[in-house]
Amino acid sequence: MNSKEVVYVVSDSVGETAEFVVKAVASQFNGGHVDIRRSSYVEDTEDIEDVILLSKQTNSIIAYTVVIPVLKEYLDRRAKEEGIIAVDLMNPLIEAFTNKFNKLPNRQPGMMRKLDEDYFRKIEAIEFAVKYDDGRDPRGIPRADIVLIGVSRTSKTPLSMYLAHKRLKVANVPLVPEVPAPDELFEVPRNKCVGLIISPDKLNDIRKERLKALGLTSQANYASFERILEELDYAEKIMKRVGCPIINVSNKAIEETANLIMDYLKSERS
């Protein structure tokens, strides 16, 4: 395939299903180099006419997942009149379901998205956790379902990702004596924040291993006992000021800590 070859993906919903199928087919032809142009949420014949016009001007195919009968029929007719190849990716299987299982389709666009709403919530939560990881942007703090605070190496990031897979939007903020805690942290309800603490000995071991993995000396200030005590003392003061519950993660697996956080959230909401 070359860059001049175009597939117009047309849908009365998002069009993700059609695009996925097109990419799967294109991958069978010299690496799948095809220009996919999506036209989502087509609502009337004018939307279809726009695609027909564009398709006439290019070396293209139309692949569609249009379930609204009047729009499907119009697209089929206009494509035939203009000599354009238009492939219905859903109707053959819909007819097979109808004939074999003796059931009638709803013919409602977006049903897949409705079924996958839980999936999309998870993706949204994961993207949120990545965007607001490690205090990158304090604007995420008021928007989070839960805010995790603690010193470095208290599992804030893996906890955030684990909770994101449970559909919770999590922001996490590292507490460092030299860096003032963001103002937003003291403005969120205390029941939306959880402090993570750890024993000095455990943190010392973890940080030494971290430095070793980075090829650095374990004598660095980051892993010194004096520095660790200073950070933990600072973190405790911030947590008391916020008034949030505190979990000691010293000997807890990520799943165990996450379950404690989720149980706490449930108790606050009930």
Q: For residues 132 and 106, is the Cβ–Cβ distance under 8 A?
A: no
Mean pLDDT of the region 10-22 = 87
CA distance 264 to 208: 32
Domains of the chain: 5-115 (3.40.50), 117-269 (3.40.50)
Between 115 and 157, name the one with better pLDDT. Answer: 157
Q: Minimal CA–CA distance to 129: which of 112, 147, 116?
A: 147
Q: Is a pLDDT exceeding 80 seen at residue 4?
A: no
pLDDT in tens, 179-194: 999 999 999 999 999 9
Q: What distances in angstroms separate CA 199 from CA 36, 105, 174, one per listed residue?
A: 54, 59, 17
**What pLDDT does 270 receive?**
66
What is the predicted pLDDT for the residue at 1?
44
Report the alpha-carbon distance of residue 65 to residue 55 in Å, rounded.
17
Give the mean pLDDT of 99-120: 74
Give the annotated binding-site residues for ADP. 150-157
Report which residue type is found at 64.
Y
Say what the pLDDT of residue 2 is. Answer: 44
When comparing pLDDT for 122 and 161, which is higher?
Answer: 161
40-62 pLDDT tens trace: 888 899 999 999 999 999 989 99
Residues 150-155, mean pLDDT to the nearest whole number? 95
Question: What's the pLDDT band for 117 if we cut at 50, 70, 90?
Answer: confident
Q: Which residues pair with 8 in a beta bridge?
A: 37, 62
160: three-class secondary structure by DSSP: helix
Binding residues: 150-157
Q: Which residue has the higher pLDDT, 266 or 86?
A: 86
C-beta separation of 48 from 71 below 8 A:
yes
Rounded average pLDDT over 111-119:
63
pLDDT reading at 31 higher than 90: no
Mean pLDDT of 191-199: 96
**pLDDT, tens digit (0-9, with 9 covering 90-100), for 238-261:** 999 999 999 999 999 999 999 999
- Which residues are 37's β-sheet partners? 8
The pLDDT assigned to 165 comes to 93
pLDDT at 176 over 90: yes
pLDDT confidence band for 36 (50 / 70 / 90): very high
